[in-house]
Amino acid sequence: MKKIMLSLTALFLLTTSAFADPVRVGYLQSDIHQLPFWVALEKGFFEKEGVTVTVAGVFKAGPELMSGFSAGVLDMGYVGAAPTITAVANKAADVVMLAQVNTEGSALIVGKDSPVKNIKDLAGKTVAIPGFSTVQDALFRKAVTVQGLSLDRQKTIVLKPPEMIGALRSGQIDAFIAWEPFPAKAVSMDTGRYLLYSRDIWKDHPCCVLVAGREYLKKNEDQAKKIVRAHMQAVAYIKKNPRESMAVAVKYTGMDEKTIQLAMDNVKYTHILSVAGIKEYTDFLRNLKYIKNDDQSFADRIMLPDFTEKSVK
């Protein structure tokens, strides 16, 4: 009897330790920047690292994903750097950035037959952004202010990217700025054309990052390292296997190959945190009065640029 109890206990401990709590990850719906996550899921990179992942939420925009952290339903997330900074600065969530996911990869789209030739022509017109404090919001305002135009004359409204294309087509808005593949979709649908790629506004600007809740990270650093390793492998995979990666993107966005090809041409995948770029976002958001945090060391505390190196040691 004792032997049976002992072996049952051993079996129990073995199985429960093998099945540690899965990591709850969130990402943004149909956002091709998040392709590394989808690739890692499809190609089994997480399993190979010995970690189980559960998709705890698919969100329509960055600020909503950050609410997931506030609500305690996420351990890690693929999300834009700008909404992350806003949420942490306004003390709505406590996360740290472990790795970069992509740079560039957004675009400003106008109607196909629109008379708008450059950003100056957009003065006083209605432009849609995916949400306040998103990367696209920051990019658009940067584009406007760099041209010396006043932001006051700009009518910005919030629409979720899937709605932007329809709104552009029916003339409700004059332009939209969104993450790929929505700009590409507008073009391949013959509804819009590229006015500005985000790299034209700010070369190599950081976009999505892989973040983790600070409390979660403290208790599960090894698990987080596994996720980051899988992420790094996925980034490398995309660079070496564009066709297979495209197939994964088609599956997760539901869009056609032509659109995805166009979209992926506009995105740069990397795991190296753009520290300078993220600091620049912080200053910009502060100037826009989105964040009421004057702490200059804030940006340093939110990033862990050595984490990717630590993960592969």
The number of beta carbons lying within 10 Å of the beta carbon of residue 250 is: 16
Alpha-carbon distance of 310 to 295, in angstroms, equals 27
Q: Which of 133, 188, 245, 274 binds another protein (CB under 8 A)?
A: 133
Q: Which of 29, 52, 67, 145 binds another protein (CB under 8 A)?
A: 67
| Sequence-ordered list of residues with C-beta below 8 angstroms from that of 113, at least 6 positions apart, any chain | none
Alpha-carbon distance of 20 to 222, in angstroms, equals 12
Q: Does 270 bind another protein (CB under 8 A)?
A: no
Q: Does 14 bind another protein (CB under 8 A)?
A: no
Closer CB to another protein, 52 or 67, in the complex:
67
Q: Which of 113, 152, 294, 309 binds another protein (CB under 8 A)?
A: 152
Phi, psi of 248 (to 5 degrees): -65, -40
Q: Does 8 bind another protein (CB under 8 A)?
A: no
Closer CB to another protein, 82 or 230, in the complex:
82
Closer CB to another protein, 156 or 270, in the complex:
156
Q: Does 124 bind another protein (CB under 8 A)?
A: no
Q: Which stretch binds another protein (CB under 8 A): 154-162, 181-189, 235-243, 260-268?
A: 154-162
The number of beta carbons lying within 10 Å of the beta carbon of residue 117 is: 10
Q: Does 165 bind another protein (CB under 8 A)?
A: no
| Sequence-ordered list of residues with C-beta below 8 angstroms from that of 310, at least 6 positions apart, any chain | 225
Q: Which stretch binds another protein (CB under 8 A): 27-35, 168-176, 178-186, 242-250?
A: 168-176
| Sequence-ordered list of residues with C-beta below 8 angstroms from that of 274, at least 6 positions apart, any chain | 100, 103, 204, 205, 206
Binding string, 173-212, against another protein, x = CB under 8 A? x---------------------------------------
Residue 61, both tokens: 């925009």
Closer CB to another protein, 90 or 191, in the complex:
90
How many residues belong to the site for another protein (CB under 8 A)? Answer: 35
Alpha-carbon distance of 116 to 194, in angstroms, equals 11
The number of beta carbons lying within 10 Å of the beta carbon of residue 147 is: 12
Q: Does 155 bind another protein (CB under 8 A)?
A: yes
Q: 217-222 long-range contacts, Cβ below 8 Å, gap at least 24?
A: 217/96, 217/98, 220/23, 220/75
Instruction: Report the amino acid identity of residue 131.
Output: G
**Residues within window 82-101 making contact with another protein, judged by CB under 8 A:** 83, 86-87, 90-93
Instruction: Report the amino acid identity of residue 95.
Output: V
Binding site for another protein (CB under 8 A): 61, 63-64, 66-67, 70, 83, 86-87, 90-93, 126, 128, 131-134, 152, 155-160, 163, 166-167, 170, 172-173, 288-290
